């Protein structure tokens, strides 16, 4: 019998070590709504004692994400930000972080407004430029923080190269893998130390759960993160852990459809005269197209595009019918977001504009609709918006 790991990714996420409950034979992981566990022996406690420290339902998800990312241990948190913030606690006062320029707004807030109060400093760098990354390094640099493709400009960072530089400096590399998931990209295999996820997005996939995950390869580092998860205590509840596992069962088919839809939309938008720029690493003219092909199995289901101006954008939003206009991404329904007022609202306007996140930029996360319906909808909304600039 081949072991589960010898099968393809899509097969092994279904046939994982928790596919059958050993007690009842149930083919769905039981939801253990217990905060505490009876100890049968005063001298030797059982596997579980208190659910902040460990819960069988949460642990099933933690095992699953570890397997999917090729790590030794996974950790589930109450949100993506809880996972990211807890991982930052691996740092100490006096440490310095080199962090990617167009990082997720919440991570930006954490690093600039919270960690600074604890004596942890940072430098932003355009991580597509390895020389810029090297210039940002200080003697006390302990962490390189990567998000690739980045949000919302879909810039691609060379995970292997950054991890190599980090190792040279005795520093860690964290990669936020929310946009691609291990179905498309496996940062630990490229040398990263910690992979982080907002499982709120593609992993759960249905806009119905807020959750975060972290995966570590090195067992000693895993022990440290496990200690921090228990100390800080921002663990994922069991109901939500189950929902994330339910979502993961269809991750591969959902992504396959959504990536194809995103590609189609990217090509359509690129050829439209009201669209100034399309940012999607699956387009041949994307500056890091080759790198994306090399380090990932696909370009993902998220793209951004810049319209002629803000009034065209406003008219487009009023006229487009299918996508929900909302914060977030990675769901069954297509989601259109306005980074300037949503994910990057925490970033000062001049800072935002200087990073290319203009007031006429929209981000699209392709869902499971028929791509031709989406295309038609965008097409009619753009046609109506055209009037805005001709009057
Ligand atoms: C949403 C998101 C986060 C934050 O996750 P939450 O689950 O909202 O706390 C972090 N990184 C990226 C790339 C995200 O899209």
Question: pLDDT (tens digit, 9 = 90+) per residue, 364-375?
Answer: 999 999 999 999
232, 89 Cβ separation under 8 angstroms: yes
Q: Which two tokens stand for residue 156?
A: 């691609």
Q: pLDDT category, 25, cuts 50, 70, 90?
A: very high
Q: How far is the CA of 264 from the centre of ligand 1 (A)?
A: 25
Three-state DSSP class for residue 212: strand
Least confident of 1-15, 117-131, 359-373: 1-15
- CA-nearest residue for atom 14, ligand 1, is 198
Which residues form the pocket of ligand 1, taking CB atoms under 6 Å from any ligand atom? 79-81, 104, 106, 147, 151, 176, 178, 198, 200-201, 210, 212
- Please give the Cα distance from 181 to 197 (Å, whole number): 8
Q: What is the pLDDT of residue 348?
A: 83
pLDDT at 80: 98
Residue 274: pLDDT band with limits 50, 70, 90? very high
Question: What pLDDT was estimated at residue 1?
Answer: 40
Please report which confidence band the pLDDT of residue 390 belongs to, taking 50, 70 and 90 as the band edges.
low
Catalytic residue positions, numbered: 52, 104, 176, 201
**What is the CA angle 301-307-312, rounded to 5?**
125
Coil, strand or helix: which one is 308? coil
Answer yes or no: pTM beyond 0.85. Answer: yes
Question: What is the model's pLDDT at position 102?
Answer: 83
Q: Is the pLDDT of residue 276 over 60?
A: yes
Q: Determine the Cα–Cα distance for residues 38 and 297; give it in Å rounded to an integer.
A: 46
H or E segment to which residue 342 belongs = none
Q: Which atom of ligand 1 is nearest to the CA of 329?
A: 15
Atom of ligand 1 at shortest range from CA of 81:
9
Pairing of strands 194-198, 172-176: parallel
User: What does the pLDDT average to over 371-387?
Assistant: 94
Residue scoring higher pLDDT (4 or 315): 315
What pLDDT sits at residue 336? 97
Overall fold of domain 252-390: 3.90.1150
Mutate to test the pocket of ligand 1, among 102, 201, 328 (most ligand atoms within 8 A of CB): 201
278-322 tens-digit pLDDT: 999 999 999 999 999 999 999 999 999 999 999 999 999 999 999
Residue 236 has pLDDT above 50, yes or no: yes
CA of 201 to the centre of ligand 1 (A): 8
Q: Where are the domains of the chain?
A: 4-248, 252-390
pLDDT tens across 151-201, in order? Answer: 899 999 999 999 999 999 999 999 999 999 999 999 999 999 999 999 999
Q: Is 2 exposed, middle or buried (0-12, 13-18, 19+ CB in 10 A)?
A: exposed
Q: Which of 102, 110, 196, 198 to mutate to test the pocket of ligand 1 (most atoms within 8 A of CB)?
A: 198
Name residues whose C-beta falls within 8 Å of residue 297's C-beta, 6 or more positions apart in sequence.
183, 184, 185
The CATH code belonging to domain 4-248 is: 3.40.640.10
| Token pair for 385 | 């918006």
What DSSP assignment string belongs to 33-78? --SB---S-SSS--S-SBTTT--HHHHHHHHHHHHHHT-SEEEEES
CA 294, CA 305: separation in Å to the nearest integer?
Answer: 24
Give the whole-angstrom CA distance, residue 260 versus residue 203: 18
Look at residue 234 in the predicted model and tell me its pLDDT.
98
Which pLDDT does position 341 carry in this prediction? 92
- List pLDDT tens digits, range 60-107: 999 999 999 999 999 999 999 999 999 999 999 999 999 998 888 899
What is residue 326's three-state secondary structure? coil
208 vs 367: CA distance, rounded Å: 14
Residue with the two structure tokens 């006390």: 140
Tens-place pLDDT, residues 101-123: 888 889 999 999 999 999 999 99
Query: What pLDDT is attached to residue 2?
Result: 44
What six digits make up the tokens of 320?
A: 């487009």
pLDDT of residue 194: 98
Q: What share of the chain is helix, strand, coil (3-state, %, to 5)?
A: 40, 15, 45
pLDDT at position 356 over 90: no
> Which pair of structure tokens corresponds to residue 375?
């295309």
For 140-154, the pLDDT digits (tens) are: 999 999 999 998 999
Is the distance from CB of 200 to CB of 172 less than 8 angstroms?
A: no
Scan for tokens 């420290």, then name that residue. Answer: 53
Q: What are the tens digits of pLDDT across the range 208-234?
A: 999 999 999 999 999 999 999 999 999
H or E element at residue 325: strand 324-325
Q: So what's the pLDDT on residue 323? A: 97
Peptide bond into 147 cis (omega under 30): no
Pairing state between β 361-365 and 302-307: antiparallel
For residue 389, name the pLDDT band (cuts at 50, 70, 90): low
68: tokens are 């999917």
From ligand 1's centre to the CA of 294, what distance in Å? 25
Residue to mutate, 78, 104, 241, ligand 1, most ligand atoms under 8 Å from C-beta: 104
How far is the centre of ligand 1, averaged over its atoms, from the C-alpha of 178 (Å)?
7
């Amino acid at each position: 019998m081949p072991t589960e790991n010898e099968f393809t990714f899509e097969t092994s996420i279904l046939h994982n070590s928790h596919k059958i409950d050993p007690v009842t034979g149930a083919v769905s992981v039981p939801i253990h709504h217990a905060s505490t566990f009876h100890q049968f022996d005063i001298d030797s406690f059982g596997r579980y004692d208190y659910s902040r420290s460990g819960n069988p339902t949460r642990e099933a998800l933690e095992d699953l994400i570890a397997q999917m990312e090729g790590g030794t241990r996974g950790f589930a948190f109450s949100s993506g930000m809880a996972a990211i913030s807890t991982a930052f606690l691996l740092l100490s006062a006096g440490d310095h972080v080199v962090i990617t320029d167009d990082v997720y707004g919440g991570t930006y807030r954490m690093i600039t407004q919270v960690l600074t109060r604890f004596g942890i400093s940072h430098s932003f760098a355009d991580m597509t430029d390895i020389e810029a990354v090297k210039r940002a390094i200080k003697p006390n640099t302990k962490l390189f923080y990567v998000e690739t493709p980045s949000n919302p400009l879909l810039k691609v960072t060379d995970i292997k190269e950054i991890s190599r530089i980090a190792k040279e400096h005795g520093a860690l590399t964290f990669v936020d893998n929310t946009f691609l998931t291990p179905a498309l990209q496996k940062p630990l295999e490229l040398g990263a130390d910690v992979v982080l996820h907002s499982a709120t997005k593609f992993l759960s996939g249905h806009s119905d759960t807020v959750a975060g995950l972290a995966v570590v390869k090195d067992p000693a580092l895993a022990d440290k993160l496990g200690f921090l998860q228990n100390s800080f205590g921002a663990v994922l509840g069991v109901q939500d852990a189950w929902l994330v596992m339910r979502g993961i069962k269809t991750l591969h088919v959902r992504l396959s459809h959504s990536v194809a839809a995103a590609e189609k939309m990217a090509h359509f938008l690129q050829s439209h005269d009201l669209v100034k720029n399309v940012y999607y690493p699956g387009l041949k003219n994307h500056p890091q197209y080759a790198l994306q092909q090399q380090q990932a199995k696909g370009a993902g289901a998220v793209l951004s595009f810049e319209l002629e101006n803000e009034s065209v954008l406003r008219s487009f939003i009023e006229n487009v019918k299918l996508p929900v206009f909302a914060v977030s991404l990675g769901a069954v329904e297509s989601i259109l977001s306005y980074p300037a007022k949503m994910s990057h609202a925490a970033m000062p306007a001049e800072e935002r504009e200087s990073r290319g996140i203009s007031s006429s930029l929209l981000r699209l996360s392709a869902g499971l609709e028929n791509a031709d319906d989406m295309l038609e909808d965008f097409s009619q909304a753009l046609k109506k918006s055209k009037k805005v600039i001709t009057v």
